[in-house]
Amino acid sequence: MSRSLNRRTFLASSAAAATGIALPQAAEARTSSASHPLAVPDIEVREAARQDPTEATVAEAVVLMRGGKLTSAALTQAYLERIAAYGSTYQAYAEVTGDAALAAARRADRRGGAHGILKGIPLCIKDNYFTAGVPTRCNSFIFQDFVPDHDATAVARLTAAGGIVLGKGQMGPLATTRATTPDGTVTTVNAWTPDDPSVDPGGSSTGPACAVAGRMAASSIGTQTGGSIVLPSNQQNLTGLKPTMGRVSIHGVIPLSYTRDHSGPLARDAMDAAIMMSVMAGPDPKDPRTLGLPAVPDLIRSATPVVSRGGTVRMRRAVRVGVPADFLASASDVRKAFLDTLDGISGVTLVDVTYPADWALLTGTFNAARLSERTEPFRHWLQEDPAKFGVSLLSWLQGLMISGDEWITAQRAKNHLLREVLDGVMAHCDVLLQTGPVPFDILGLPELAFPAGFTDGIPQGVILGGQPYEEDRLLEVAAAYQAVTDWHTRRPADPAPHQGLSRQAPAARPRLTAEEAAAASA
């Protein structure tokens, strides 16, 4: 599929989504998911993963199981033991389905042979995805008694591929802020600072991120409306992939914004992100945003680094990496070292890019239009009992205050911004380094977060944005970078036993005010 055709399809799809309709069914080749078979390559397993299965990436665990060196039951039990030991400190899970997960793991071990690329792999699912028979509270008073009778499409695809639901990941109330209780008391911590809950763990997918970073799940899935896949990944040393709008179905996900909700993995490296995305992506008749799009490329191949016989890493395809002028404005030491390393990989060309003059206006002021879109499906509850929105109420009320003409103006501004990104900023590069999730987040373009170093013990990552449906390009860059660095293999130290929350007063966790929650809202 050519870039120009991808561009036209994306523009048509974005326009259709904004009006709540689907693209017409296109040619069969454009409505089918990847036709290539999904398989994990025989990668080399690190010694640390051989010694401790909770250390293993998804790919390493698959290789170990395939070689008879690990069972799903042993892996699942190891994760459950860490949840029991450290769960009260991390508070990464809203619900742990330990008995069901162990039963599924034993069935996977008895089954033997091939049964899906994720056979026997325990996963953490963000608590806004429907999970049949398991509470799905979205960390809100509104859904506190909700137990779905079916799985979200993404969850159904992961389990059909052999994945095991280990539990539901803690999240911000209705996916608006970092994880707190519905009334604002901080729950999930950054896995790298378990004794300091004031350190930002990222956006609303902090539970799934902490579960993977704290070695309490092999991988996880989250959602992103305002940065909640890439930011927790950056904050907790993970590789998170927010795909192009429509790549993954959001059917069965409690909504926040129809034109901006995305589903994607928070994983340990580019290969794991590719494996998870390969399973999750593809058309779903229950989500019209996914129909009529280009086929999913071979993401696993893209995440496999190209290494010469002499051990030199090179790009699978030559790539021009756009570097905006403000890229070194923060975490400059880490980012400068990142650029130096990237520039040393054969096939990479760094290109300076310049933002248009109205960049700050288009990516800032008009971003508030998202609030009315997310308020719309919740008006019933706002009228019935505003108290059910807990600490996040102000941001929902703000959505009611945006007039129709303001919303239309914002949509025009969004279209203008999209042209400036595709025809301007991206005209001279294949991928673009970003300083935050915006504007690719706003526009529905793909972006990938991955580790690049540390500052004072806190992970520092970078975010790479791409052209429509070019998740493969992003993975190629991250895979090459991770082949010559080891930031992504570093894990946080375990919390000290005495630091468990069960031995602390509840007041040890800070509480967000309504104003703070509104300011931080996705």
Calpha distance 62→41 (Å, rounded): 9
Asked if residue 183 lies in contact with residue 192, where contact means CB atoms within 8 angstroms, the answer is no
- What dihedral angle (degrees, nearest 10) is formed by the CA atoms of 219, 225, 231, 232? -40
Calpha distance 481→452 (Å, rounded): 9
Helix, strand, coil % (nearest 5) of the chain?
A: 45, 15, 40
Asked if residue 271 lies in contact with residue 305, where contact means CB atoms within 8 angstroms, the answer is no
Among the listed residues 237, 306, 267, 231, the one whose alpha carbon sits nearest the alpha carbon of residue 56: 267
Calpha distance 205→177 (Å, rounded): 9
| Maximum Cα–Cα distance across the chain | 67
Q: Are strands 458-466 and 447-455 parallel, antiparallel or unpaired?
A: antiparallel
Other CB atoms closer than 10 Å to residue 168's CB: what's the count?
27
Question: What residues have CB less than 8 Å from 51, skipping those under 6 apart?
Answer: none
Among the listed residues 59, 135, 130, the one whose alpha carbon sits nearest the alpha carbon of residue 94: 135
Q: What is the CA radius of gyration of the chain?
A: 21
Calpha distance 387→389 (Å, rounded): 5
Calpha distance 339→321 (Å, rounded): 10
Catalytic residues: 126, 204, 228
Asked if residue 127 lies in contact with residue 169, where contact means CB atoms within 8 angstroms, the answer is yes
Question: What residues have CB less than 8 Å from 108, skipping those under 6 apart?
Answer: 72, 115, 119, 120, 162, 164
25: DSSP letter: P
Q: Is the dihedral of CA 48, 51, 56, 62 positive or negative?
A: positive
SS3 97: coil
H or E element: which one contains 61?
Answer: helix 58-66
Calpha distance 381→451 (Å, rounded): 40
Distances (CA, A) of 37 to 41, 220, 222, 285: 12, 22, 25, 22
H or E element: which one contains 323?
Answer: strand 313-324
The answer to whether the bond into 122 is cis (omega within 30° of 0) is: no
